[in-house]
Structure 1
Amino acid sequence: MTNNNPIGVFDSGIGGTSIWSAIHDLLPNEKTIYLADSKNAPYGQKTKEEIVALSKKNVEFLLENNCKLIVVACNTATTNAIRELRNDYDIPFIGIEPAIKPAATNSRTQVIGILATKGTLNSELFNKTAEMFQHTTIIEQVGYGLVQLIEDGNLNSPEMTQLLESYLQPMIDANIDYLVLGCSHYPYLIPQIKKILPDHIQIIDSGEAVARQTQNVLREKAGFTDGKNNSDPVFYVNSNPAVLKSILENKYPVIEKDF
């Protein structure tokens, strides 16, 4: 089955570009539309009702742009809203949730850390997943302030370093050997995180797994492009476009639009 419509990707801001990048690397011929709802970031401090409403708004925008598949490139939106999205819209959705399973399965110390938003850690979906690994101690830490610093372009600020040290040191002291990044913004912090963590602690994010699942869903349901109408990915943002342009290294068009 051939389908030349684009893949839609949305996040509460620029963080989901880490997911988009993994998808684009695996499926370079597919057209993509990325939606950054930076005006409403971070989602992690909002109520479930607010997150569902914002997620539906984003989906409506992507459907207006004829997307064949939508990737919810936000842990908070996935864990709080994907059930409602799948119920309300007749289109395949791919979600992203913290990669607890590979960390818990491979951990030798049976202690893993997860750095995520409050909205993700408090969600029913996250807690159901965590309950499957009762023999593993999961050290949970809300990354208060991290998303906002990234959205403001303060990726390498002293404040960022100070926050990361305060969040990660208790995990180090608890003898974790895996750190799960439970927010799509956080892969951009890996260089700073590596400076703080001992070398033996492995960092896991969900980008490659989501890209492989996207490929599977295209094969089974949505259809691949024929590759004849290649075009640059399009990025939409509703606030602070300079930060998104910087993250993308000015390689692609960024359109500021109120949605």
Structure 2
Amino acid sequence: MHHPIAVFDAGIGSYAIVAEIHKQLPDQDILYFADRASFPYGNKGQDELLEVMQRTLRFLESYAPSAIVVASNAPSIMVLDSIRKYSATPLFGVYPPVNEALTISRSGKVGIMGVRSLIESAPLQRFVTQHASRPHDVALINASPMVELVEDGTFLFEVEKTQEAVHAFIDNILHQYPDIDTLTLSSTHLPWLRSFFEAACPSCRFLDSAESVIAGLGSGVRGTGRIQGLVTESEAHDVETLRRMLKQFGVEIPLEVVEL
């Protein structure tokens, strides 16, 4: 591969970003790394996340990437600034679109949905304070159970069960925060559930936190347009399940099992 853009997350979540990069930069080589052995990032504290990120960067830099996309909100907010000093490669993260949410909200009340470690972190609270003109109008919502529905394939293979779980989840949010009308999908797994969220709350707006990443990558580096998949696996999250999920989307790319 010729100076690929490397995109990684703890599972299938980041493939949506891979697909969008491929659409916008068709000649760009892309390295898609699904670190399923580290799933979920959402249960890891800041120190553990920092260790995982350092290890991952060392591994990906062996492929001489032109850029690395940390395709997960939790490490982007919690440790990305800290890990930049360990990498000479340009690093990009994904962040909750708080300002946009507050701008389009009719009620002025919005929510950030993300994994538990992100939602409970001091860095996210600082991020909201820095980026929202009205921080008190931004609810922080633990969506880790929704992320699980994606990573284990439930959303693809058990659609009715998924919709029931999403309905219950949204109903609980609206019970706690009845004025919320805009929610950010601040885990790269959550956009896969967008249609389920919209069915559960047709009057709500759901914003994808990854959309701004693509613009920041510029024109890329001309290559062959190849996408190479690298996967770590665990007993609970194996490569075959990932392959089945990708196939369900009509995606067939080479997946190489690796160990970090």
Normalised-by-shorter TM-score class: 0.7 to 0.9
* TM-fit CA distance, 1:258: 1.7
- Pick which of 83-92 and 138-147 moved more: 138-147
Q: CA deviation at 1:127?
A: 1.2
Structure 2: where are the runs of 5+ without partners?
none
* Residues 237 and 256 in structure 1, CA contact (< 8 A), matched pair in contact too: yes
| 3-state SS of paired residue (2:111) | strand
Match of 1:204 among 196, 203, 207: 207
Equivalent position amino acid for 1:58 in 2: T
Q: 1:164 aligns with which of 163, 166, 169?
A: 166
Partner Cα separation in structure 2 for residue 213 and residue 69 of structure 1: 11
Deviations 1:172-202 (A, max 9, x none): 351222111110000111121111012x321
Q: Cα deviations across residues 82-136 of structure 1 (Å, max 9, x unaligned)? A: 0121122122110111111100122120011221111211233321232233266
Question: Could you tell me which residue of structure 2 aligns to residue 255 of structure 1?
Answer: 256
User: Bigger CA drift: 150-159 or 74-83?
Assistant: 150-159
1:213 aligns with 216
**TM-score, normalised by the number of residues in structure 1:** 0.88
Gaps of 5+ in 1: none
Which amino acid counterpart does residue 193 of structure 2 have in structure 1?
Answer: L
User: Is the CA contact 2:26–2:225 (under 8 Å) kept in the aligned structure 1?
Assistant: no
Q: Deviations along 1:141-175, whole A, 9 cap, x unmatched?
A: 20132223322211153553343223212443512
Partner of 1:139: 139
Q: Identify the match of residue 120 of structure 1 among 103, 118, 121.
A: 118
Alignment of 1:20-169 (within 5 A): 20-131=18-129, 132-134=132-134, 137-156=137-156, 157=158, 158-169=160-171
After the TM superposition, which of the residue ranges 184-193 and 247-256 deviates more from structure 2? 247-256
Identical residues among aligned pairs (%): 24
Q: Is the 8 A contact 1:99 1:206 kept in 2?
A: yes
TM-score by length of 2: 0.87
In structure 1, give the amino acid aligned to 2:212. Answer: A
Aligned letter for 2:165? L
**How many pairs are equivalent?**
247
Taking a change above 3 Å as real, the CA distance of residues 75 and 204 of structure 1, as seen in their structure-2 partners, is same
Worse overlay, 156-165 or 18-27: 156-165
CA distance in 2, matches of 1:35, 1:149: 20
CA RMSD of aligned residues (A): 2.0
Cα 1:59–1:175 change in 2 (3 A) is same
